[in-house]
Structure 1
Amino acid sequence: MKRAALLIGLDNASQFPPLKAAVSGAKSVGEWLAAEGYQTTLLTDENGGAVAVHDVKAALKSIVEKGDTEKLVVYFAGHGLLNGLSELWLLSDAAHDIDQVIDVSRNVEAARTCGVKSVVIISDACRLLPGTVSQSRTSGAMIFPAMNDYSVDVEVDRFFATRPGMAALEISSGQGAGSSDRERYVGIFTEALRDIHIDPDATLIGPVTIEGKASVGVLSRKLKSLLPHVVDGRAQDKSLSLRQQPQLVLECGDDGYVARPTTSKGGIARKSASQLYRHTASLSLNRSILNDFSIPVPLRDEASFRDFRDRARPPFALLGKTVGATIIGKPVASAFSPDVEVGVVKSGRITQLRVRDDIVSIISVVARFEDGTGAVIGIVPKHHTTVMVEPFGISNVLFEFAAQDWDGKLGLVLDYGAMASEIATAANFGMFPESREDAQAFASSSAHFNNPTLTLYAVMGLVEVGLRSKISSLTDKMAWSKSSALFDLCLHLGSWSVDAGPFCPLLSQTWAFLENDMKNLPDNIVEAGRYRQASLWTTFTAEGMDLIERAREAGELQWQQS
């Protein structure tokens, strides 16, 4: 079995500002991995060239279809966006053709059936939010061939150059004035990833198997804590105002790696791993409840993390007393349900949506905010839904028992709010999940709670790291899901109830699975999904809400999955 790498470097993407280190970064990584024994394929826009989706698909197909690859690295350097939970890579003509975009998140799922045991995706690209309406409705292309090989448990590791919402930086390499402009710039992340394999600290090295032979490698799990500090330190060395912290989402075991350690003639001075680890603190959830599940947060992020978490947590004074919903953060212009009558009571930035208390299945409520954006709210029997809305979209949704069903559950209601806001914040910061262990730990710890929000967050974590098969054992314990189920759960379980709701995904993540797992969702609803804000929970742009209204007029909001 061999190792293969596909390197993509694009300095130019239509109307976007030109980059200076994407092509050189791809070439540099290609040379490094080739020296490591990888068979490499390089795609760049050097010398006025262009790279299109069909070029990338053809290159991957030629690698995967041979069936003799044990490790595949896909490296991209260029412009990127983060639309909801969708990581987007922009190819040469992306500004003029929305089909010239690669959706990393969807391709992670496609890679799971490619038959290659280890897939490593390395993205040296920004993860900024879309800046225009056309960018916000961008969905991405699939590049992995449909191999449908389920015989291999594929592990997909993701190395992102920066955290969600942040830029991936290029800096001057300090070379002389005689060098070309592009040669004098490097991507901080790419350069650091290469350098960390040169004369690495001994604590980073461990046994691995390469093409059937025992060897040693720089272990990915060791890099997870170290690499963010190395990259951020290099940014700070350039300017105190610069920040960049990579994010590693790992599914590999302890023997996961990208390359072996190498040596330099003079050696490289480097802080030890133990010195760098001390910069990480843990903000822990209620330990007595969640069995020591915790979220590591870099100290310099603590203030912004806590601020976001506090905003995402519904005020206890506003917890619902009846079956219905409360929307906090954006004034609601209008609301309706295709299922029941809805009463709307508005008070500034807080809106109460009232329905009858005796509903027996999940209902859909469409709420349009005064700025034209909006959302589809799910109301679960015997529960009140609280929706926390930020300017960028919905940050958190809490399903808690309606007051008439508290009966000694008040402490649990408070715990639900604390736990949900913590996970919502971690997910918005790109800190959850960062490994299969993270996802499984949270799913295991939250399994005994009979709460739809925690179930959805657990499902989100399992799906993100390729553990959809674990969802059924989680939901089997949820009493509320026996009589009816939320759309997202039904889709991932492949089991639909006539009482399932609401009529579209609640989580932005779920939209990536519609194409493969659903065939009869009405076109207007599918198209509305392309007009979403970059938020954890589905929040439609004004154009998306117009399409939902069109679906209402066409009688499509009460569709049923066959």
Structure 2
Amino acid sequence: MIRAGIFVGVDRTGHLPLLHDAAEGARRMRDWAVGTGMVAPAQAVLLTDADGATVTPDQIYEAIAGIVAGPGVDQLLLYFAGHGVNINRGEVWLLSGAPERTAAAVNVRGSVELARYCGIPHVVMISDACRVAAEGIQAQNVVGQDVFPNNAASDRSHPVDQLFACRLGRTAAEIRDPGEAAAGYSALYTGELLRALHGDVPEVLAAGSDTAGAARFLYPRPLARHLETAIPKIVAGRGLIARVNQVPDAIITSDDLWLARLPPADGNDMAAPVSATPRRTRPTPSGSAPPPRTKGILSATGERAAGQAPRHARARRVQLPGTAAVPQLQDPDLRLAALKRISAAFGPDRFGSRCGIKVRGAQVAAAASAYAEVRCLEGTPAQVEVRAIDGPAASVLLQFADGSGALVPVLRNHVSALTFVDGELVDMAWEPSANHGRWPAYAEHADALRALRAVAATATRNGRFRMDAAGADRLAAGIQYRRHLDPGMALYAAYAFHEGDLDPVTRIGAMSRLLGEDIDATFFDLAMLTRQLRGRRVEPGDMVVPCVPLLAQGWTLMRALGVKPHPALEGLQATVRQSPWSLYDPRGVDRIRQALTTREIR
């Protein structure tokens, strides 16, 4: 196996807290790769800001492009340590010039998409960085760059495994090691990662053999499971539960591609790896260590964003009621209260026009549409009646009492339902109007479909709606009733299929076709993920609603998937608020309203 590695570490980013182990962590990772013979020295690129150097997206891009254009490699390892944020539910790595320079960052999700088709059979991306929400206008305006070439060298996707130091909305920490000098800090995640890579965690190694003989192999999936359980134990053992909230995460799409090769248990057949071992730390007595450094972004007040309070509840398997044809999802962050709130029916199940919108958790101040007549109604929850749709579907701009807004697709003979929790738009659903002939068939499955949507919405909010191929098949069957499709669940499923690289074009294409047969239109996100919009923008006659992503994570994929934004909405991405579904600030609302006025968007 021919391997290459790019190791990036950035300690200094704008006015954010100085890190002490990011550049050093990248160096230790390169030492492991070269010292064990996993990567040849010429194929191991180290990019850090040590000794006053700077790191830019172009440097990373050129390093990757050189590998892609070279004689060929079987595996590429891309490691990053430094500050990170999540923007539009996607991770962004902040480099030397960020956040002052909006382009001095890496768009991880877009880079993953391009990596799948760059021609390298296996790419592994490791992120020892925070994934907290960007705070303030400056951070929200950061636009990460895609660092893989858009060469479409392969006509089929290849596995891209992603390992994250923490979950979405959480912080990754480096803590002071009392055994080191006063200025010494050690990254929790990279330290434990290197322990496993060096073979110091034998229980995650699999015995086997290859052309070089017998060996033990470290595969990404068991490595990810180990890190997810080991890091919280380290945090607890050092008495840092109240100060560090870190549970690793991973998206693994390969099963038979190893990350490290070590000698067999008896030590024969292969020389032991030679490399500097990762820096170890000893347990810290509670109260004796200084606060941990967190790789997060500062808020407008200058306080470090520390994420939410840690939860230590045991992972709970959520059983979806009503049908066996849906996957079971396991996640400690699926809180029953949130599930019940989202799954509970609310508001009217019909409108006289057989089409309307209802909203819980927010007040509607105004509504506008270019291709339908809309009228705000009195009452709670907020309601908007929709009449005279020009075509099978249209978009309605809702502005809420706090000035924010959402672009909501309305479908003939359907009621659109929006749910807000803590100021975020967490779910959007479309159900047949109860005074339409389709309602009885839907009503038979309504409870199960609402429960499934609640699980998907809650997991998506936490960045954790994932499944394997068998789960994808069950989900595809479970979101249908009779010959119809639950439109909202089709959107959740589409991103899960795409993120897991579960034959997304075929699976999402099938859902898009079924939805098209059902409502004579489709959603922007489905058209984008099936590459129907490559090289073009959405026009009013396309019957694609709306003309921008419904789920916020879609914004980070537009460039990699070659979708052109509508000229009337250029720059709209910068106005998207922190929310699972696209929610725009007042600037964005004004832009959308103007485009509707001129009927440039449906």
**Is 1:294 the counterpart of 2:328 in the alignment?**
yes
Choose which of 379, 390, 408 in structure 2 pairs with 1:377: 408
Change (3 A) 1:207 1:402: farther
Aligned to 1:169: 173
Choose which of 498, 515, 522 in structure 2 pairs with 1:485: 522
Aligned to 2:34: 34
**What is the CA distance between 1:393 and its match in structure 2?**
2.6
Aligned to 2:337: 307
**Is 1:468 the counterpart of 2:479 in the alignment?**
no
Change (3 A) 1:9 1:306: same
**What is the CA distance between 1:207 and its match in structure 2?**
5.6
**For each residue in 1:300-338, what CA deviation from the matched residue of structure 2 results, as whole angstroms up to 9, or x when unmatched?**
x45xx2233234335345545542111221222211011
Tell me how far apart the structure 1 counterparts of residues 398 and 198 of structure 2 sit (CA, whole Å).
55
**What is the CA distance between 1:282 and its match in structure 2?**
1.1
Contact 1:400 1:416 in 2 (8 A): no
Tell me how far apart the structure 2 counterparts of residues 434 and 224 of structure 1 sit (CA, whole Å).
15
**Is 1:364 the counterpart of 2:395 in the alignment?**
yes
Please state whether the residue corresponding to 1:409 is helix, strand or coil: helix
Change (3 A) 1:552 1:280: closer
Contact 1:440 1:462 in 2 (8 A): no
Change (3 A) 1:492 1:388: same
Tell me how far apart the structure 1 counterparts of residues 358 and 79 of structure 2 sit (CA, whole Å).
44
**For each residue in 1:86-132, what CA deviation from the matched residue of structure 2 results, as whole angstroms up to 9, or x when unmatched?**
21111111121111111100111111121101101101110101101
**What is the CA distance between 1:148 and its match in structure 2?**
1.2
Deviates more, 1:438-447 or 1:421-430: 438-447
**For each residue in 1:277-300, what CA deviation from the matched residue of structure 2 results, as whole angstroms up to 9, or x when unmatched?**
x95431122373434x111123xx
Contact 1:282 1:296 in 2 (8 A): yes
Aligned-pair identity (%): 24
Change (3 A) 1:358 1:51: closer
Please state whether the residue corresponding to 1:455 is helix, strand or coil: helix
Deviates more, 1:479-488 or 1:218-227: 479-488
- Structure 1: unaligned runs, 5 residues or longer: 269-277
**What is the CA distance between 1:491 and its match in structure 2?**
2.5
**What is the CA distance between 1:203 and its match in structure 2?**
4.6
Letter aligned with residue 549 of structure 1: R
Which of the pair is proportionally richer in helix?
Answer: 1
Contact 1:2 1:69 in 2 (8 A): yes
Change (3 A) 1:8 1:495: closer
Aligned to 2:6: 6
**For each residue in 1:217-242, what CA deviation from the matched residue of structure 2 results, as whole angstroms up to 9, or x when unmatched?**
11222233332110111111222323
Aligned to 2:537: none
Aligned to 1:501: 545
Contact 1:10 1:91 in 2 (8 A): yes
Change (3 A) 1:127 1:289: same
Aligned to 2:234: 234
Contact 2:162 2:251 in 1 (8 A): yes
Tell me how far apart the structure 1 counterparts of residues 228 and 472 of structure 2 sit (CA, whole Å).
21
Tell me how far apart the structure 2 counterparts of residues 212 and 429 of structure 1 sit (CA, whole Å).
43
Aligned to 2:100: 96
RMSD value over aligned CA atoms? 2.8
Letter aligned with residue 426 of structure 2: S
Aligned to 1:243: 245
Letter aligned with residue 585 of structure 2: T
Aligned to 2:488: 453
Tell me how far apart the structure 2 counterparts of residues 493 and 151 of structure 1 sit (CA, whole Å).
14
Letter aligned with residue 230 of structure 1: A
- Structure 2: unaligned runs, 5 residues or longer: 264-271, 281-312, 534-540
Tell me how far apart the structure 1 counterparts of residues 520 and 596 of structure 2 sit (CA, whole Å).
26
**For each residue in 1:167-194, what CA deviation from the matched residue of structure 2 results, as whole angstroms up to 9, or x when unmatched?**
0011122323xx361xx21111111111
Tell me how far apart the structure 1 counterparts of residues 463 and 162 of structure 2 sit (CA, whole Å).
12
TM-score, with normalisation over the residues of structure 2?
Answer: 0.82
Change (3 A) 1:311 1:256: farther
Contact 1:281 1:296 in 2 (8 A): yes
Alignment of 1:404-443 (within 5 A): 404-405=435-436, 406-433=439-466, 438-443=471-476
Deviates more, 1:444-453 or 1:167-176: 444-453
Tell me how far apart the structure 2 counterparts of residues 450 and 288 of structure 1 sit (CA, whole Å).
15
Letter aligned with residue 579 of structure 2: S
Contact 2:113 2:560 in 1 (8 A): no
Tell me how far apart the structure 1 counterparts of residues 83 and 463 of structure 2 sit (CA, whole Å).
19
Please state whether the residue corresponding to 1:432 is helix, strand or coil: coil
**Is 1:139 the counterpart of 2:143 in the alignment?**
yes
Deviates more, 1:152-161 or 1:279-288: 279-288
Please state whether the residue corresponding to 1:8 is helix, strand or coil: strand
Contact 2:373 2:389 in 1 (8 A): no
**What is the CA distance between 1:68 and its match in structure 2?**
1.2
